[in-house]
Amino acid sequence: MTLAPSDTALVPFVSVDHMMRLVHHVGLRPMLRGLAEYIEQDFRRWELFDKTPRVASHSAQGVIELMPTSDGEVYGFKYVNGHPKNTREGLQTVTAFGLLADVGTGYPVLLSEMTVLTALRTAATSAMVARQLAPATDTMAMIGNGAQSEFQALAMAELCGISKVRLYDIDPAATEKAMRNLAGTGIEAVACRSSEEAMIGAGIVTTCTADKQYATILTDNMVGAGVHLNAIGGDCPGKTELHPGILDRADVFVEYTPQTRIEGEIQQKPEDFAVTEMWEVLTGAKPGRTSDRQITLFDGVGFAIEDFSALRYVRDALPGTGLGQMLDMLADPDDPRDLFGMVMRAA
């Protein structure tokens, strides 16, 4: 009898360090492309998924959420917190980890950090959507230059042919950081002094600001015909970025309507405000962009299926890389009824 855990009892774990190594092993742009492919695959088989709303535990300081989903063969969930005040204490506003399990046995098959991975999947989702909806353009305005901004720029470059990014943030230090990070990526970055200036010539306008409030980052008269708005910073109740007038002039595309009505820009609108779910565009059930003058708006809030796709990608990318660490996470007695004997023999 061996006391070493058996293979079935070990769960591969991808640490933050290993996730970063995986990014460099695959390459950031190819990894964003790969993630977008996995997300698109899962959006195309949308109806197959068990779509539970996220389970939130709210406190005065923030929120902790569990986001589970399943395609009937694989189960996944993400743990994610949102604590806006954390930044003031030198901590991340959002940290996350996730897990995949085999539906057939209930055994976990992957545990992974998801702070880095969520940043990647959020950018990959935006670019996957923009590839469907945006006009032909080489320029993106990036309003809000926080932790997500460079990932957005790279994903839009990789999937939508963006070569110029016009940056604006109310904090010039954030813009300077993004300028530094984008130097050498092959993307031409321009620091702008206002949102209006950032939007000059941009076919894609990404808003990703952090303040939890009903903010108006874009007013109605700023948005010209034909652009694609990628609004990803309005992502929880009480947090929006766009003037409601923009929503009336745009065709609005969402991930999962019940969640977006609570968390997205459309929380400013009545329950029957018309939206199209992106999976319907991808399967051809509904049209995407239909004219050059149309304003398309992706009201992105982040949905569990995107995390599921990202974890699937990591699971498939891991073999042969030497990355991932085996965790002895599951008890596996020789006789499943003899847990007590296993514990006692460990003495």
**Using CB under 8 A, which of the segments 145-153, 192-200, 272-280, 306-314 binds its own copies?**
145-153
- Please give the structure tokens belonging to residue 284: 């051809």
Residue 64 contacts its own copies per CB under 8 A? yes
Q: Which of 12, 43, 70, 155 binds its own copies (CB under 8 A)?
A: 70
Question: What character string, x for contact with its own copies (CB under 8 A) and - otherwise, covers 30-59?
Answer: --------------------x-x--x-x-x
Q: Distance between CA atoms of 96 and 61, rounded to whole angstroms?
A: 17
Q: Distance between CA atoms of 148 and 113, rounded to whole angstroms?
A: 17
Q: Which of 48, 225, 285, 339 binds its own copies (CB under 8 A)?
A: 339
Q: Which of 12, 13, 307, 308 binds its own copies (CB under 8 A)?
A: 13
Q: Which residues 6+ apart lie within 8 Å of 103 measured at CB?
A: 70, 72, 73, 74, 75
Count of CB atoms situated within 10 Å of the CB of 177: 18
Residue 1 contacts its own copies per CB under 8 A? no
Residue 322 contacts its own copies per CB under 8 A? no
Q: Which of 188, 197, 211, 338 binds its own copies (CB under 8 A)?
A: 338
Query: Is 69 in contact with 52 (CB distance < 8 Å)?
Result: yes
Question: What character string, x for contact with its own copies (CB under 8 A) and - otherwise, covers 166-195?
Answer: --------x--x--xx--------------
Rg (CA), the chain: 21
Residues 83-112 that bind its own copies (CB under 8 A): 83, 86-87, 89-93, 95, 97, 99, 101, 103-108
Minimum Å gap between C-beta 70 and its own copies is: 5
Strands 164-168 and 188-191: parallel
Query: Is 147 in contact with 115 (CB distance < 8 Å)?
Result: no
Residue 346 contacts its own copies per CB under 8 A? yes
Residue 331 contacts its own copies per CB under 8 A? yes
Q: Give 200's DSSP letter.
A: T
Q: Exposed, middle or buried: residue 47 (CB in 10 Å: 0-12, 13-18, 19+)?
A: exposed
Residue 329 contacts its own copies per CB under 8 A? yes
Query: Is 330 in contact with 21 (CB distance < 8 Å)?
Result: no
Count of CB atoms situated within 10 Å of the CB of 18: 21
Q: Give 103's DSSP letter.
A: T
**Using CB under 8 A, which of the segments 67-75, 130-138, 269-277, 287-295 binds its own copies?**
67-75
Q: Which of 26, 29, 37, 63 binds its own copies (CB under 8 A)?
A: 63
Minimum Å gap between C-beta 242 and its own copies is: 22
